[in-house]
Amino acid sequence: MSSDESAARPRRRRNPRGEGARLRDELVEAASDLIAEHGSAEGVSIRAVARRAGVSAPSVYLHFDDRDALISAVLVQRFADLGDAVVEGIEAAGGDASPFSRLVAGCHAYIAYGLGNPGHYRVLFGTPVGPFSPTMSSAAAESLNLLVEGIARCEEAGAAIAGTPLDVATIVWSSLHGQVMLRVVSPSFPWPPVDAMLLPLLRGLVRMPDVTAGG
């Protein structure tokens, strides 16, 4: 009753020949779901993933060398998701929006991803096997570059920033991260609306020229 690996799911159908690799995707999805539910990679066991996928535990080894390889495969996907979400958020602001508006939109999308996928977000940036391990660095660096570019555009448009665009982007990124993590971990805190925190932050760090007064 308890150590029976086939207890949880209806015992999935075997893949046709040549399609065996489909199990790989199903395992990644199952692992991803478990990480999201658990909010952490520790405690997401190979056996639990296999149960979720309706498969025996050793079958995981047909597609992944070990547990770490499975977890890493999930993180690579979710990192790409985060990058895509930020890009979509910026594009949704419209190409004719001001650089500052596009910056706000990108930051907003970042926070929204984190709050909408708290379990994944925590694992993405909360473990030492994090974004700047060799396997993850490209996706993370890409997201940060979006931020650097967004700030540089504001500077080109006349904004005063305190440091290089990379320095300011690092400050902003840290702040976004802190806000997401704390909101996720401590939802009972009386948080102000996201905008009430995001706009003062960005206005303080990226000071656009005031168009309503001569400057």
Partner DNA sequence: GTCCGTAACTTTACGGTCGTTACTTTACGG
Partner DNA sequence: CCGTAAAGTAACGACCGTAAAGTTACGGAC
CA pseudo-torsion sign 196, 201, 207, 208? negative
User: What is the closest distance, in whole angstroms, from the C-beta atom of residue 203 to a copy of itself in the complex?
Assistant: 7
Number of neighbouring beta carbons within 10 Å of residue 206:
23
Task: Determine which residue in the list 8, 25, 37, 58 makes contact with DNA, applying CB under 7 A.
Answer: 58
Residue 184 phi/psi, 5-degree rounding, is -70, -45
Told to check if 203 binds DNA by CB under 7 A, we report no
Q: How far apart are CA 194 and CA 191, in angstroms?
A: 8
| Window 114-143: contact mask with a copy of itself (x via CB under 8 A) | --------x--xxxx-xxx-----------
With contacts defined by CB under 7 A, name the span among 12-20, 154-162, 173-181, 197-205 that binds DNA.
Answer: 12-20
Told to check if 162 binds a copy of itself by CB under 8 A, we report yes
Q: How far apart are CA 61 and CA 46, in angstroms?
A: 9
Told to check if 187 binds DNA by CB under 7 A, we report no
Residue 23 near which of a copy of itself, DNA, none (CB within 5-8 Å, type-dependent)? DNA
With contacts defined by CB under 7 A, name the span among 19-27, 121-129, 176-184, 203-211 that binds DNA.
Answer: 19-27
The residue type of 98 is: S
User: What is the closest distance, in whole angstroms, from the C-beta atom of residue 199 to a copy of itself in the complex?
Assistant: 8
Q: At what angle do helices 118-126 and 165-185 cross, to 10 degrees?
A: 130
Nearest to 147 by CA among 124, 173, 174, 181: 173
Binding site for DNA (CB under 7 A): 2-3, 5-6, 11-12, 14-23, 45-48, 54-62, 66-67
